[in-house]
Chain A
Amino acid sequence: MASNYLDFEKPLVELEAKIQELRNFMEMKDIDLTDEIERLKSRTTTLREEIFSQLEPWQVLQIARHPERPVTLDYINLICDDFIELHGDRQFGDDKALIGGIGTIGRMPVTIIGHQKGKTTKDNIERNFGMAHPEGYRKALRLMKQAEKFNRPIVALINTPGAYPGLGAEERGQAEAIAKNMMEMAGIDVPIIVVILGEGGSGGALGIGVGDKVMMLEYTYYSVCSPEACAAILWKDAKEAKAAAKALKITANDLLELGIIDTIVSEPPGGAHKDYNLSAQLLKEEIMKEIEFLQTLSKEELLDNRYNKFRKMGQVKEKVGEIVEK
């Protein structure tokens, strides 16, 4: 269990090891150490809360990329009982890095699309590490248009380091595929919920990221570029990635404050990978709540609100008191 811990989790891992040690000792020597164990357990809980309440952006990013973190299909299978995956963009192929399908959440029919990462190396190679090609974005658009036809809300689950930078991706119009999705998502007249599950990597994330409510799980990031790339370009040193992660303002808290996202979805203590069921449950509740609200709006209100939400984003300086020429 302790094999995949992050450096800032070390004190917790040590405490847990100590608890295990006491348990073994108790069994072997038949002495009652329950009180001591309970004391250490409660210290672990307090310490975990303390550590996780003051994570640096760089540490959040490590959790977002944690190899044991639940991936999109884990969430889908825990949120929906009856998910049916649908394949292909009808033009070129089926992208395994961006999946989609239909199912019900509660008793509500939905279309779900999302980037799919793997957990093992083999799985990750098959999933291209969650980096989609144009056919992935076009499949997502096909399924979203289908959702619109059948008046089904859409849930878009984002978890990608970015769209794939390769020859085929360029030949088949990666830029156009992403641009088209954003344009069309602005006009699809059913509720669209967007959730950052792990990595929100730039245009590759935003390609399925235009919606009525944008949520981030607690320990995720959403960024214009990877902090590593930013550091390499601006500081000419990838080792400055920690500083870049901070400067770019990529955490859920920062982005909520900047008005880029609407909601932060809590994760279980220690991160989503510590308790898949609880994490999925917390997400399911948020999704259902938001969809129920959005369904009370007329289609015009829904689209106007969505437009205005993105229309407002940005910050520019205007000279106060400047005399305007008539």
Chain B
Amino acid sequence: MLKDFFGKSKYVTVERKSRSRRDKDRIKSNKEENKREMPDDLWTKCKRCKEIIFNKKLSEHLKVCPSCGHHFRLTATERISLLVDDQWFEEYDEELEADNPLDFPKYDSKINKYQKKTGLKDAVVTGIAKISGHKVSLAALDSRFLMGSMNSVVGEKLTLAIERAIEKQLPLIIVAGGGGGARMYEGMFSLMQMAKTSAALKRLDKAGGLFISILTDPTYGGISASFASLGDINIAEPGAKIGFAGPRVIKQTINRDLPEGFQTAEFLLEHGMIDKVVKRSDLKNVLAKILSIHDLRGEDNGE
């Protein structure tokens, strides 16, 4: 029976202590893995200015092009290690993985492929982190995993992260980055994660919790049209492409070319949809300032 499947075991959050050592190793090993994925072991060509950049230099520059400032996409683990203090990150719910609830053709093999490719179970990593001394509930999407699309796993992990923020009275930070929107392979289960995460954010809102949404390249569809747009404060990285409908669909619909800079972070700032465009190198500082101003104290924040 389906009812049993929805049993309360899905809600159980497995609490773990002192995992930072292992996570540290994991973040490190994933970093190395990502490097191997680069077009070449030694260098990368910038998508925007076509400059050839040595990977070592690119890493030193937080994966931002030293010549033109283009922000390359980060993996979830890179993002987390960029933001948190001395790798202070405790991962939660990492055991959750996709179940192919519709028996959708080829979905299982897709999941397998991306699990191998990314070392992740699915498109989001969630946990508790420290950012400049502030304990937060943190989530980061990984756009490499089926375009960072939202399925039952992503929706469930995000909702658990939101509920953790409510329960432990921690600020919530979600780094969105997904061009895939709601993941087709799980049909309406995926679509409903938009409602689920938004409803959980309503609870956080009522509880007076702070939610900072960070929108990175790319944020579209079911991701932008749910949690990613609902921050008390919405921050985007320079040049990030953010929108509801994909540019190709819009172009087909209106039958003309899209204006330059359409659906970029700067376009959204101009139209009042985000609070701030923040360079990657400033991101942690800006977050620290916002967290200090709110100075939310969690149950055991004072250590």
Contact = CB atoms under 8 A, between A and B. Distances in A.
Do A and B come from the same complex?
yes
Contacts of A233: 184
Interface string B223-267: 011111110000000000011111001100110001100110000
Contacts of A315: 5-6, 99, 101, 152, 186, 189
B228 to A, nearest CB: 8
Contacts of B5: 315
Contacts, number: 205
Interface stretch (B80-88, B133-141, B153-161): B153-161
A260 interface: yes
A224 B229 contact: no
Given A163-B245, A175-B229, 6 more contacts: A166-B250, A179-B226, A203-B191, A307-B203, A314-B151, A315-B189
Contacts of A234: 184
A302 to B, nearest CB: 13
Interface stretch (B48-56, B124-132, B193-201): B193-201
B259 to A, nearest CB: 8
Contact of B202 (A171, A183, A319, A325): A183
A58 to B, nearest CB: 15
17 contacts: A163-B225, A165-B249, A165-B250, A167-B254, A172-B271, A175-B228, A175-B243, A180-B229, A222-B188, A225-B182, A233-B184, A247-B105, A259-B6, A307-B203, A312-B6, A314-B151, A324-B16
Contacts of A319: 95
B230 A247 contact: no
Q: Which 7 A-B pairs have the closest CB atoms?
A: A165-B245, A314-B152, A186-B199, A175-B224, A182-B198, A174-B244, A317-B99
Interface string A294-311: 000000000000110011
Interface string A223-244: 1110000100110000000000
A206 B258 contact: no
Taking chain B's interface residues, is the majority helix, strand, or loop, or is none over half, making it mixed?
helix
Interface residues of B, number: 73
Given A173-B273, A316-B98, A178 B244 contact: yes
Interface residues on A, range: 35 or more
B109 interface: no
A173 B225 CA distance: 9
A255 interface: yes
Contact of A247 (B104, B205, B245, B271): B104
